[in-house]
């Protein structure tokens, strides 16, 4: 369970490579016992941030503190911040046991204790039967478990993970997500997990950091970020939001009416005071909209759009639509719901949502 005590603090951290700034001035507290995911597109600065935590890069400005102690100038071997690499970085010339034991040997742990710890982690990661096997003879999932055992056998307070599941097949990714989540909860170790995968970050993390161009765009719990993105970038990055631009034509006690090129729509839960004619952007998640052949009755926002196609994503599908003036829309539906709609490219549907389903983005 996440505690309120910061284990790691990044205070005004900047990283430059010549004239290029990879990480802008960021402030971030990572709590004791927290599973924190850092995500963003390639080049956003997430891996550079992780490397600075590991001691593989030195900040150009700012401080990094671990348990209250400044560590940004300490070399890697003087920090207790092991990392599980995307490539796993296992030693191919060593056996499974020797790989797991390596960190303990470097710390000059006594032989009896080394063997006891290694045996414990081989068993915990369910790889005891492979202890004398060469790394090259293991499957991807088995190598992943070896890499985790090698990092955790030293009993660190924090573990850094750099896209560790990216090379695994889909079914192995899901299995290893469960392994990682269970380990983190049971051990109470702080995990800092870098990924480009929204499904990985949102399914495992207590909090998610979304970065863009070296800056932190938003920090929050997965549900908070999914339902209430704080910027257009976050809404577009998540890819699950329908985005509407317009201006306030009328306000009332519950919210406002927003005029857009596609019609007037009711919104609720406005962020602070928004004046008449003020420009606003609001988003509606693709799982909070309805599709129908008939215009819905009641107090719903709705507009007509043509079906462009379907995108299957396992148990659900994303229906892509487009209005007459080119606004792209999407709706996430179960396959059972779609069977009743009998969709065909070019067919017209009513796309609707309640006023309370809209989230108005803060004014930048």
Q: Which structural domains are found in the chain, ordered by start? A: 6-227 (3.40.50.300), 232-360 (2.40.50.100)
- Give the separation between CA 133 and CA 111, rounded to whole angstroms: 20
Burial of residue 122 (number of CB atoms within 10 Å: 0-12, 13-18, 19+): buried
Predicted local confidence at residue 298, as pLDDT = 83
Binned at pLDDT 50, 70 and 90, residue 272 comes out as low
Residue 273, pLDDT > 80, answer no
* pLDDT, average across residues 199-210: 94
Predicted local confidence at residue 292, as pLDDT = 94
Binned at pLDDT 50, 70 and 90, residue 4 comes out as low
Residues 6+ apart with CB under 8 A from 310: 317, 318, 319, 320, 338, 343
* pLDDT, average across residues 143-156: 90
On whether the CB atoms of residues 50 and 5 are closer than 8 A, the answer is no
Longest CA span, the chain: 75
Binned at pLDDT 50, 70 and 90, residue 290 comes out as very high
- Give the separation between CA 29 and CA 233, rounded to whole angstroms: 23
> Among the listed ranges 52-61, 166-175, 241-250, which one has the minimum average pLDDT value?
166-175
Mean pLDDT computed over every residue of the chain: 91
CB atoms within 10 A of CB 312: 10
Residue 17, pLDDT > 90, answer yes
Residues 6+ apart with CB under 8 A from 307: 319, 320, 321, 343, 344, 345, 346, 347, 348, 349
Residue 174, pLDDT > 90, answer no
On whether the CB atoms of residues 86 and 164 are closer than 8 A, the answer is yes
Predicted local confidence at residue 314, as pLDDT = 81
Predicted local confidence at residue 59, as pLDDT = 96
For residue 322, give the nearest of 295, 337, 303, 335 by alpha carbon. Answer: 303
- Give the separation between CA 63 and CA 72, rounded to whole angstroms: 6
* pLDDT, average across residues 224-252: 92
> Among the listed ranges 126-135, 149-158, 266-275, which one has the minimum average pLDDT value?
266-275
For residue 241, give the nearest of 282, 285, 210, 280 by alpha carbon. Answer: 285
* pLDDT, average across residues 2-22: 89
pTM of the model: 0.88
Binned at pLDDT 50, 70 and 90, residue 225 comes out as very high
Predicted local confidence at residue 1, as pLDDT = 43
Residue 3, pLDDT > 70, answer no
Residue 203, pLDDT > 60, answer yes
Predicted local confidence at residue 270, as pLDDT = 75
* pLDDT, average across residues 182-207: 93
**Using one digit for the tens of pLDDT, what is the confidence trace for 306-364?**
999 999 988 899 999 999 999 999 999 999 888 888 888 999 999 999 999 999 998 76
């Amino acid at each position: 369970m996440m505690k309120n005590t910061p284990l790691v603090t990044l205070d005004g951290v900047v990283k430059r490579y010549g004239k290029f700034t990879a990480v802008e001035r960021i402030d971030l507290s990572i709590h004791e016992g927290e599973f924190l995911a850092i995500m963003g597109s390639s080049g956003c600065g997430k891996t550079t941030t992780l490397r600075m935590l590991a001691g593989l890069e030195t900040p150009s400005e700012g401080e990094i503190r671990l348990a209250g102690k400044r560590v940004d100038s300490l070399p890697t071997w003087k920090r207790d911040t092991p990392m599980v690499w995307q490539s796993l970085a296992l030693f191919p010339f060593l056996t499974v046991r020797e790989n797991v034991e390596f960190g303990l040997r470097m710390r000059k742990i006594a032989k009896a204790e080394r063997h006891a710890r290694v045996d414990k982690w081989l068993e915990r990661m369910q790889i005891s039967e492979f202890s004398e096997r060469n790394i090259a003879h293991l499957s991807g999932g088995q190598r992943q478990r070896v890499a985790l055992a090698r990092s955790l056998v030293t009993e660190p307070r924090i573990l850094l993970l750099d896209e560790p599941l990216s090379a695994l097949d889909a079914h192995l990714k899901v299995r290893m997500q469960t392994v990682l989540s269970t380990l983190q909860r049971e051990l109470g170790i702080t995990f800092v997990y870098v990924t480009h995968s929204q499904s990985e970050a949102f399914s495992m993390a207590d909090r998610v950091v979304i970065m863009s161009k070296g800056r932190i765009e938003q920090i929050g719990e997965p549900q908070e970020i999914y339902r209430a993105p704080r910027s257009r970038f976050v809404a577009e990055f998540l890819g699950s939001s329908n985005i509407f631009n317009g201006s306030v034509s009328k306000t009332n006690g519950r919210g406002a009416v927003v005029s857009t090129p596609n019609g007037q729509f009711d919104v609720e839960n406005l962020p602070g005071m928004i004046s008449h004619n003020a420009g606003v952007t609001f988003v509606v998640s693709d799982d909070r909209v309805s599709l129908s052949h008939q215009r819905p009755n009641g107090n719903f926002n709705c507009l007509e759009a043509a079906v462009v196609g379907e995108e299957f994503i396992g148990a659900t599908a994303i229906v892509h639509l487009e209005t007459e003036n080119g606004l792209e829309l999407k709706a996430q539906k179960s396959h059972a719901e779609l069977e009743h709609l009998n969709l065909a490219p070019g067919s017209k549907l009513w796309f609707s949502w309640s006023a309370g389903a809209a989230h108005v983005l803060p004014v930048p």
